[in-house]
């Protein structure tokens, strides 16, 4: 990991100094559409967040540096304006950018909203409607907690987890065959392999021995309806991120329709506004999922990678996902050269998208 950071930092500096980051951006088509940035949680101090899934946090300080750097080179526009520009196909002479925040964590309201307001920067939030105002965790956060706790007790993690899965009649994902399986790798393998209902069965088996959800909540608490309403009135765009954050490519077509339609209906009823934007949970889409999003009447939908389906260009709008470590150099300092390369997609070779956007619809 460290070696990769050093290599990336070195390449970023070389590319940035030579102006090649911008050229690569042009060649890869990154400038042909508005820049859409995606974040998740915004925190005060990264060190306090060791219980959080990697890649989910950015500190308020680093976020401010990102916004300042981007603001010097791009005009910030709203997500609605981004949509309008995409539709009209114009506006490419002056680069524009928009910032989005997925999952509806409460720390967006606490840490990012005041910063955005002070700087006059428009932004969009994609909450998960079934969890708004509840004291529940996102199911992936809960899975991570439960597994991390189980892993701290289990001697042979792979054997114990395999036994649990087999006991539930579920196959053991091949990717879990590593010797020192970590909780994060296990979470990813489970989320990649199973439907949400199956994941809940795994969690129920783990939960028998583990503390309650309320105790786990802490910093992972989510937004409530009053906060969303207040932010909407201050110019924050609210979009949908499903009802339960199900990974849609692992679900039945009916479940995908429910997740996309019911979340939009709930947001529209509670906020009294038309909801036009949708973000795919974890960026997972395939042709069937995109068709469901179209049927649910969204005008624009956002991925987490640079894959754009030519059949549905407005429903597979690329986003650049950023987090705290994505712009830290090998000495853990913020690097504007790295940010430049990330924004221009000059480092995408280092972490190519591994999602199966074309995979056939699962049969279950």
In the list 30, 63, 222, 355, the residue contacting Zn ion (rule: CB under 5 A) is 355
Closer residue to Zn ion, CB minimum distance, 220 or 305: 305
In the list 307, 329, 334, 336, the residue contacting Zn ion (rule: CB under 5 A) is 307
Q: How many residues bind Zn ion (CB under 5 A)?
A: 7
Minimum distance of Zn ion from residue 250's CB (angstroms)? 14
Minimum distance of Zn ion from residue 290's CB (angstroms)? 12
In the list 103, 107, 141, 258, the residue contacting Zn ion (rule: CB under 5 A) is 103
Q: Which residues of 91-125 are buried (b: 16+ CB within 10 A; e: fewer)?
A: beeebbbbbbbbbbbbbbbbbbbebbeeeebbbbb
In the list 38, 281, 315, 339, the residue contacting Zn ion (rule: CB under 5 A) is 281
> What's the Rg (C-alpha) of the chain?
20
Closer residue to Zn ion, CB minimum distance, 85 or 307: 307
Quick check: 52 binds Zn ion (CB under 5 A)?
A: no
Quick check: 353 binds Zn ion (CB under 5 A)?
A: yes
Q: Which residues of 289-324 are buried (b: 16+ CB within 10 A; e: fewer)?
A: bbbbbbebebbbbbbbbbebbeebeebbbbbbbbbb
Closer residue to Zn ion, CB minimum distance, 157 or 277: 277
C-alpha to C-alpha distance for 314 and 321, rounded to whole angstroms = 18
Closer residue to Zn ion, CB minimum distance, 20 or 353: 353
Query: CA–CA distance from 293 to each of 10, 149, 253, 275 (Å)?
Result: 41, 36, 11, 12
Which of 72, 122, 16, 50 shows the shortest CA–CA distance to 324?
50
Query: CA–CA distance from 145 to each of 183, 203, 302 (Å)?
Result: 9, 10, 28
Closer residue to Zn ion, CB minimum distance, 104 or 161: 104
Closer residue to Zn ion, CB minimum distance, 239 or 281: 281
Pattern 170-209, Zn ion, x by CB under 5 A = ----------------------------------------
Binding site for Zn ion (CB under 5 A): 102-103, 281, 305, 307, 353, 355
């Amino acid at each position: 990991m460290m070696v990769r950071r050093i290599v990336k930092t070195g390449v970023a500096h070389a590319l940035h100094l030579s102006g090649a980051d911008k050229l690569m951006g042009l060649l890869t088509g990154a400038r042909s559409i508005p820049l859409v940035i995606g974040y998740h949680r915004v925190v005060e101090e990264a060190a306090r967040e060791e219980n959080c899934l990697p890649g989910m946090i950015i500190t308020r300080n680093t976020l401010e540096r990102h916004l300042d750097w981007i603001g010097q080179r791009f005009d910030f526009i709203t997500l609605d304006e981004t949509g309008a520009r995409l539709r009209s196909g114009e506006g490419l002479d002056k680069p524009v950018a928009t910032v989005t925040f997925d999952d509806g964590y409460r720390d967006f309201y606490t840490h990012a909203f005041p910063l955005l307001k002070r700087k006059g920067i428009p932004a969009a939030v994609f909450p998960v409607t079934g969890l708004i105002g509840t004291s529940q965790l996102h199911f992936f956060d809960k899975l991570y907690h439960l597994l991390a706790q189980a892993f701290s007790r289990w001697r042979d993690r792979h054997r114990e987890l395999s036994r649990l899965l087999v006991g539930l009649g579920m196959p053991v994902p091949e990717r879990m065959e590593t010797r020192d399986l970590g909780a994060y790798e296990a979470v990813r393998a489970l989320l990649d392999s199973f439907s949400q209902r199956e994941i809940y069965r795994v969690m129920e088996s783990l939960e028998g021995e583990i503390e309650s959800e309320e105790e786990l909540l802490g910093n992972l608490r989510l937004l409530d309806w009053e906060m969303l309403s207040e932010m909407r009135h201050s110019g924050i765009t609210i979009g949908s991120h499903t009802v339960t954050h199900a990974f849609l490519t692992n679900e039945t077509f009916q479940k995908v329709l429910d997740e996309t339609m019911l979340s939009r209906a709930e947001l529209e009823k509670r906020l009294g506004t038309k909801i036009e934007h949708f973000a795919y949970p974890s960026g997972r889409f395939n042709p069937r999922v995109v068709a469901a999003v179209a049927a649910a009447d969204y005008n624009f939908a956002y991925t987490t990678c640079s894959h754009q389906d030519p059949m549905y260009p407005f429903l597979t709008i690329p986003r650049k996902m950023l987090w705290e470590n994505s712009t830290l150099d090998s000495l853990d300092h913020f690097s504007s050269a790295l940010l430049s390369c990330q924004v221009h997609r000059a480092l995408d070779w280092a972490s190519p998208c591994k999602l199966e956007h074309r995979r056939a619809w699962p049969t279950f």
